[in-house]
Structure 1
Amino acid sequence: MMKRRLMMVERIMYVDSKTPLNCVFTAKISGELPEGHFKNALVKIQQKHPLLRASIDEKSERYPLFVEDREIAPIPVRIVERHTDEDWLRESETEWFSLFNEEKKPLARLVWVRGKDVSEILWVMPHCISDGTTGVTLMRELFDLLDDPSLELKPYYAFNSVNDFLPTDFDTKNKKYKAKLYLLFARAFFLLQRKSKNRNTGKNYALHRKLDPVTTSLITEKCKANGISVHAILCAAFMQAFQEIKGKKAKGKVISPVDVRHFIPEIKQDHLFAFAPTVDLAIKKGSSDLLNNARQIKTDLVQKIETMEARELLWMGEQMHPIVDRMIAMLKSSNGGHDVTLSNMGKINIPDDYKNFKIETIFSPTVAFPWLNSNTLVATTYNQQMDFTFMSNENFLPKEEAIKIKDKAIELMTTSL
């Protein structure tokens, strides 16, 4: 039975029991989806993943815990009738603010936007148990089981603490000394900070854009021809777009999450996990050479990934629990030093053609961060179509400005290469 403390980064993404921070993953399907198959599929998925049989206990100990519950309820499905192609986005925004705080209820739910010939399926989970790879895994498992109810999934054991991921030669003694210094400096930093009353009081929103296969192919082929990655051109284009629209207020920096599974193979591709180490990527202020910026970003990203110590980052984070509440308070009140958090999930590895239905498309995940700087871009590619969701808060980045930034970035990628 799993009973473990939330990791430091999980605590940040949990925030607290009164603050929703949910990820929503959506796919569009054509064909018949028998309602009875959902129950079987969700039971098997819940039996596989320990975090889907757990709740969060804030009362038993100083810090919140994941506690597995043998009497946990099944993953619920909410069905709504489909009227337009935009219903999924409205339902996604509704689910951002629905808490996972009911006793005996799991940390996941499904929304079925049901139409006669076309439906959207939305997986909803708190960010503290889910990264992008988690959403892809659960979507793929759901479709496999809806198509073949006899399929069996292999359960796995939950880890007990980050120590499970440490190598035998990990120098805990010296690392503890380093961690104590970091904690001391962090406490001093927070003591020197003036308490800010800044908060996002506006409405969260999500913008969506899907490129057609021809435009997507144009971007990817030109990236190959110029020796740059799609991720690098995304970062360069959006930073330049921020500069052109925001002027001197632009920061010229993005925060880019990296899948931790690249560094810690014990965390399998089909395991639920929330921690994604990040790298900062920047361009020179005023620089408008998209290709040169993208080349520099690619070089910087490769260097930072090569030197990243993900296991040590996990362990070091666990020494920072005493200041997590201050970190959260700062995120809620600070403008930050970046334009946007940019997550490029790349090609989505889910088949499009099943025996009984077809996956028309997959939309990039949506999320509404409660931070003051809630600018978030997620990019995915499925069926040769690049897809974007751009989220923020009207109070921090007016929606009209966000539309201009999104459109300018896509224009740069399609006309400047």
Structure 2
Amino acid sequence: MLVERIMYADPKTPVNCVFTARIKGEIQEENLISALAKIQQKHPLLRVKIDRTSEPYPFFIEVKDIEPVPLRIVPRKTEEDWFTESEKEWMHLFEDERKPLAQLVWIKGQKVSEILWVLPHCICDGTSLVTLMRELLSLLDDPSVALDSYPLFDSVQDFLPYDFNVRKKKRKARLYLIMARLFFLMQRKSKKGSPGKNYVVHWKLSPAVTGQITAKSKAQDVSVHALLCASFMEAFRQVQGKQAKGKVISPVDVRHFIPEIRQDHVFAFAPTVELSINKGNQNVLDNARQIKKDLKEKIEKMEARELLWMGEHMHPVVERMISMMKTSNGGHDVTLSNMGRLTIPNAYKNFTLETIISPTVAFPWLNSNTLVTTTYNQHMDFTFMSNENFLPKEEAIAIKDKALELLTS
């Protein structure tokens, strides 16, 4: 699909998601290997390679005798080993066609371990990562748990409703393709050049502060997501001044619109909504109320099935899209993915899930500003990612600090 190709980028550019869980207790290596085998058998995208030669565009093809999901074991030395190993995995290139598009890293300690799922973004979204972690922990706790496999979707045609007017939509698709080509012809490259070193700023809020933010949202009749968007956009404005765009890109789980894609399916497409704050109004709560209203209206109007189908007609300009994202400042401050409360159990027979660290990814785009937040066990957790050439790390920390001040004031 179009979005899969964008997140694939090209054969030599890794775009990997890393999702980390910290476990207290004993883990047996044989149980990890057994769990990975069951999970791989369930999810068809863990049994595919990317074929780049048979057709004009790359596509997934199932490999019958594919190797097991690799397990890399690292001795645990410090609390920050997860970050060091995440940085390594950002740059891991899944180029061996005999191996699946996934890897597990076990940072092995005597009493505490970290488990890192690593997958290319072209096969998974945030919901997929949560599903894989939940299934892994369940199988580590009870190896007899059964997982039901499901067939891989063949194409976007699988998602079209019976009354979809292909003839009418084709005219619209041709017009969009012409407009896209004209748009890319007019684009100028940024003077900032290529992206610098990728980094992540990570922080976790206490249950008290998490509860304070939740209570504030409820009392002011705004969603936590709207409050986060308004607070971070205002923080960008206060730190960056006129350079701030006052816009945020917000991914939405496609499963809300296409129930054939189940909650436990590994799938990559997440439609996005662009949200803005009023440049003449610095009141965070006013802007949060407007964002809540705008988000609701845009989600109600979203045609996810049509978006998937229309995207298939944009393949001729995918390389230009990717080139633009690598060289353009973009029109937004940050992509904010709020994954919400994670439904993963905390207590197991032989271990406990101590904490979850929100997913990280090192995008190759010039504007790679990405904020991911999750809530687990009453702690809100944040990962803020970018690159030094576009947003210096010190500036990202200043934005984070200002946003937290706005969230809790």
Q: TM-score range by the shorter chain?
A: over 0.9
Match of 1:71 among 59, 65, 75: 65
* Inter-partner Cα distance in structure 2 for 1:319 and 1:78: 40
User: Does the alignment pair 1:86 with 2:80?
Assistant: yes
Letter matched to residue 367 of structure 1:
V
Name the SS for the 1:139 alignment partner: helix
Equivalent position SS for 1:365: strand
- The answer on whether the counterparts of 1:20 and 1:96 sit within 8 Å (CA) in structure 2 is yes
Letter paired with 2:233: M
Question: Aligned residue for 1:355?
Answer: 349
The counterpart of 1:104, out of the listed 98, 120, 123, is 98
Summarize deviations over 1:269-323 as a string: whole Å, max 9, x none: 0001110000000002253211111111100000000100000000000011111
Query: Could you tell me how far apart the structure 2 residues matched to 1:90 and 1:231 are?
Result: 29
SS in 1 for 2:130: helix
Q: CA deviation at 1:133?
A: 0.2
Q: Which residue of 1 aligns with 2:3?
A: 9
Alpha-carbon shift at residue 188 of structure 1 (Å): 1.8
| SS in structure 1 of the partner of residue 133 of structure 2 | helix
Task: Give 1:97's aligned amino acid.
Answer: M
Q: How far does residue 149 in structure 1 lie from its aligned partner after superposition? A: 0.5
Displacement of 1:52 after TM fit?
0.2
The answer on 1:127 being equivalent to 2:116 is no
In 2, the alpha carbon distance for the partners of 1:399 and 1:31 equals 35
Is 2:173 the counterpart of 1:179? yes
1:405 and 2:399 matched? yes
After superposition, residues 12-411 of structure 1 pair within 5 angstroms as 12-194=6-188, 199-411=193-405
CA distance in 1, matches of 2:206, 2:110: 25
Q: Is the 8 A contact 1:347 1:380 kept in 2?
A: yes
3-state SS, counterpart of residue 30 of structure 1: strand
User: For the residues of structure 1 that align with 2:194 and 2:105, how far apart are their CA atoms?
Assistant: 27
Q: Which moved more, 1:191-200 or 1:106-115?
A: 191-200
* SS class of match (2:281): coil
> d(CA) in 2 for partners of 1:409 and 1:192?
35
Counterparts of 2:68 and 2:155 in 1: how far apart (Å)? Answer: 26
SS in 2 for 1:320: helix
How far off is 1:192 after superposition?
3.0
Matched-pair contact (CA < 8 Å) for 1:200–1:393? no
1:61 shift after superposition:
1.0
Residues of 2 paired with 1:338 and 1:350: CA distance? 32
User: What 5-or-longer segments of structure 2 have no aligned partner?
Assistant: none
Distance 1:357 1:153 in 2: 21
Instruction: Say whether the 8 Å CA contact 2:195–2:366 is kept in structure 1.
Output: no
Give the aligned residue type for 2:74. V
8 Å Cα contact 2:192-2:390 kept in structure 1: no
Is the 8 Å Cα contact of residues 24 and 365 (structure 1) preserved in structure 2? yes
Shift of 1:393: 0.1
Contact 1:10 1:128 in 2 (8 A): yes
- Tell me, yes or no, if the aligned pair for 1:243 and 1:286 is still in contact at 8 Å: no
Alpha-carbon distance in structure 2 between the residues aligned to 1:353 and 1:271: 24
Alignment-mate amino acid for residue 278 of structure 1: T
Partner of 1:4: none
Moved more, 81-90 or 334-343: 81-90
Aligned to 1:3: none
Counterpart secondary structure, 2:208: helix
User: Using the alignment, how far apart are the partners of 1:206 and 1:335 within structure 2?
Assistant: 19
Please state how far the C-alpha of 1:23 moved relative to its aligned partner: 0.3
> Which whole-Å CA distance do the structure 2 matches of 1:195 and 1:405 have between them?
26
Q: How many aligned residue pairs are there? A: 409
Tell me the distance in 1 between the aligned counterparts of 2:72 and 2:206.
31
Q: Deviations over 1:379-409 (max 9, x none)?
A: 0000000000000000000000000001110
Superposed CA deviations along residues 160-192 of structure 1, whole A, max 9, x for unmatched, are 100100000000000000100111111122223
RMSD between aligned residues: 1.0
Counterpart AA for 2:81: D
Letter of the aligned partner of 1:139 in structure 2? M
**Alpha-carbon contact 2:217-2:224 (below 8 Å) kept:** yes
Contact 2:258 2:305 in 1 (8 A): yes
Q: Which amino acid aligns with 1:59?
A: T
The CA distance in 1 between the partners of 2:110 and 2:281, in whole Å, is 50
In 1, Cα distance between the equivalents of 2:182 and 2:369?
28
Name the SS of the counterpart of 1:205 in structure 2.
Answer: strand
- Residue 409 and residue 332 in structure 1: after superposition, are their counterparts in 2 closer, same or farther (change >3 A)? same
Deviation readout 1:135-173 (Å, 9 max, x if unpaired): 000000000100100111000001110010000000000
Taking structure 1 as reference, are residues 311 and 349 closer, same or farther at Cα in structure 2, changes over 3 Å only? same
- Identity rate of aligned residues, in percent? 69
Displacement over 2 Å in runs of 4+: 191-201
Counterparts of 2:195 and 2:152 in 1: how far apart (Å)?
38
